Structure 1
Amino acid sequence: MIVCVAVIGQQNNPLFLQSFTQEDDDLKLHHIVHCSLDVIDERVNNPKRSGIAVNEAFLGLLYPTESYKVYGYLTNTKVKFILITADPEVRDADARNFFRKFHVAYVDAVSNPFHVPGKKITSTSFSRKLRSIVDNLGSITTV
């Protein structure tokens, strides 16, 4: 089950964060997203130690918490996508598929001539498209 997704800008500024839970976990999810930025920076700055290919956008599992697993994706423009899931076992192929669709929705949103680059994404169309992606892939297939 996908719990939260986030888009983080080049300067580590939050551009979009959406929770898909009924509980009031927003502060906890913001904290998890913020902590994942350190892991992303470490993997990007030390690709040989992390085992990630230099040209690979999918960063894989960033870290697990007691309740969640956090996955990362880095675009060519250094915008970061964060996926937080409550599933104990998520296949990398499913997470990659989610990020591909998420990236397409993001590109559509920022291609809007009224969107100001580097500012928060406030598009309701983007939110609806993201909700649709989560609903279709929401229960990411577990191993």
Structure 2
Amino acid sequence: MIICVAVVGLQNNPLYIQSFTDGDDALKLHYIVHCSLDVIDERVNNPKKIGSTLNETYLGLLYPSENYKVYGYLTNTKVKFILVTTDEDLKDADVRSFFRQFHAAYVDAVSNPFHVPGKRITSRAFAERVSTIVRSFGTSTTI
């Protein structure tokens, strides 16, 4: 189950963070997103150490915590996408598919002529599209 998605800009500034929990975990999820930025920087700056290729945008599982698993994705423009889930049996192919759909929604949102690059994404259409992607992802991974 997806509990949070985030888009983080070039200077590690949050462009969009949305949590999908009923509880009061927003601050905790912001902290998890910020902690994952260190792992992303480590993987991007030391690709030989991790074994990933330079052309790979999907960073995979960044780190598991006690309750969550955090996945990362890096665009060609160095914008970072972060996915926080509670799912234990998540397949890599499903996460890659989610990031592809999320990336397409992001591209559509920033292609808006009224969007200022590097600023927060405030588009209601983007938020609704992300919610739709999250809902479809949640139903497609459960049996």
The question of a shared fold, defined as TM-score above 0.5 by the shorter chain, is answered with yes
Aligned to 1:64: 64
TM-score computed with the length of structure 2 as normaliser: 0.97
CA–CA distance in 1 between the matches of 2:39 and 2:110? 26
- Give the conservation status (yes or no) of the 8 Å contact 1:91–1:142: no
**Offset at 1:139?**
4.4
Task: Report the 3-state secondary structure (helix = DSSP H, G, I; strand = E; otherwise coil) of the residue aligned with 2:61.
Answer: strand
CA–CA distance in 1 between the matches of 2:60 and 2:142? 15
**Counterpart of 2:91 in structure 1: which amino acid?**
R
CA–CA distance in 1 between the matches of 2:129 and 2:109? 10
**Counterpart of 1:78 in structure 2: which amino acid?**
K
**Offset at 1:131?**
0.4
Evaluate the alpha carbon distance shift between residue 140 and residue 73 of structure 1 in structure 2; reply closer, same or farther with a 3 A threshold.
farther
Structure 1 segments (4+ residues) deviating >4 Å: none
Aligned to 2:101: 101
TM-score computed with the length of structure 1 as normaliser: 0.97
**Offset at 1:74?**
0.1
**Counterpart of 1:109 in structure 2: which amino acid?**
A
1:39-80: CA deviation from partner (whole Å, max 9, x where unpaired):
000000000111111100000000001000000000000000
Aligned to 2:75: 75
Task: Report the 3-state secondary structure (helix = DSSP H, G, I; strand = E; otherwise coil) of the residue aligned with 1:138.
Answer: helix
- Give the conservation status (yes or no) of the 8 Å contact 1:87–1:142: no
Any unmatched runs of 5+ in structure 1?
A: none
Indicate the percent of aligned positions where both proteins have the same amino acid: 70
1:86-126: CA deviation from partner (whole Å, max 9, x where unpaired):
00121110000000000000000000000000000000000
- Give the conservation status (yes or no) of the 8 Å contact 1:90–1:140: no
Aligned to 1:89: 89
Task: Report the 3-state secondary structure (helix = DSSP H, G, I; strand = E; otherwise coil) of the residue aligned with 1:10.
Answer: coil
CA–CA distance in 2 between the matches of 1:112 and 1:62? 31
Aligned to 2:17: 17
User: Matched residue pairs, number?
Assistant: 143
**Counterpart of 1:30 in structure 2: which amino acid?**
H
**Counterpart of 2:83 in structure 1: which amino acid?**
L
**Offset at 1:141?**
2.3
